[in-house]
Amino acid sequence: MPGSFLSAAEGQVVVDPILSTWTTDNRSEVLLEPDIAYAGETDTFLYVYEEQFAVGDADIFFRETNINGVIDSSSYASLSSLNSIDPEVGYQDGDGVALIVYTVEDNAGNSAVRGRIRDVVTNGYTSPELII
């Protein structure tokens, strides 16, 4: 942080340090709309994003890493010929589950919000795709 900023600052200045960095995914596919959640029970980070397969055909990919960026598990939350976009992930502390939510568009232009529940302890989905 430049000294000129600090000398002009009023009040307390808090700087969060970067403790480490890592690449979450280095595959060659086009990855869009990332979202992340932290799972305190397993001390892991949960990532979701669109993987652009073709024009009008994106899928939702899920990845879990430990606090050092080492991949614990990964899978598709939505893998089909339909266009799955705009993923979000949230974690329910105490239950060990994450909810992955996304929009699915069909070829006629209709869309619906869908989701999957993932158990981050067993690394499996606890439900088929849900219509939300």
Average pLDDT over residues 71-91: 92
Average pLDDT over residues 75-103: 93
**Using CB atoms within 10 A of its CB, is residue 36 exposed (0-12), middle (13-18) or buried (19+)?**
middle
pTM of this structure = 0.79
- pLDDT more than 70, % of the chain: 95
Average pLDDT over residues 102-110: 92
How far CA 37 is from CA of 17, 111, 130, in Å, comes to 20, 25, 20
- pLDDT, tens digit, 9 for 90 and up, residues 48-77: 999 988 888 999 999 999 988 888 888 999
